[in-house]
Amino acid sequence: MPYKLLFVCLGNICRSPAAENIMNYLIEQNGLSESSFQTPGDRIICDSAGTSSYHIGSPPDRRMSAAALEKLGIKLRGRARQFQKSDFQDFDLILAMDRENYDDILSMDPTGQYHHKVRLMCDFCSRHTLKEVPDPYYGGSEGFNQVIELLLDACDGLLQYVSNQEDRRQSR
């Protein structure tokens, strides 16, 4: 059974698609992609969404794409979509980029049934001390580079966490 991760920011064109693509990059680098398993489905699936509908259907922001290409040599893929209630059931872990996104996601689950699935992305950082991934949209290129560095750290920690979760699942 694949472990499903959903990365969420406001518009789904900067931070969350960067996180999704960086995580896929790390999964590939660590030999955890679908092609490295005998049975399809024994893998980690990543997706991203936005809490707003501003950019539905748009590709990742060109400045974020440039930063990811320059820093990691990866091309950001995907199209923006809005977070929906069904995502609570469809994903094992929902990762909010900042406290506002976190609160917006939780507000869509008034009973609290899925609150345990929602975490802040920076909870998984080991080298950086920021508690939220800052939105670089209105800033310069340095902000986009900082977000790539921060997400690389968080995704690294997240991959270790998910691998531990997978080990627990399989030992049951």
Q: Which residues form the catalytic set?
A: 9, 15, 135
Q: How far apart are CA 65 and CA 119, in angstroms?
A: 25
SS3 44: strand
Q: Look at residues 32, 151, 21, 23 and name the one whose alpha carbon lies nearest to residue 79.
A: 21
111: number of Cβ within 10 Å: 6
List, in sequence order, every beta strand (DSSP E) within 37-148. Answer: 44-50, 93-96, 118-120
Between CA 30 and CA 128, with CA 149 as vertex, the angle to 5 degrees is 100
Q: How far apart are CA 35 and CA 41, in angstroms?
A: 10
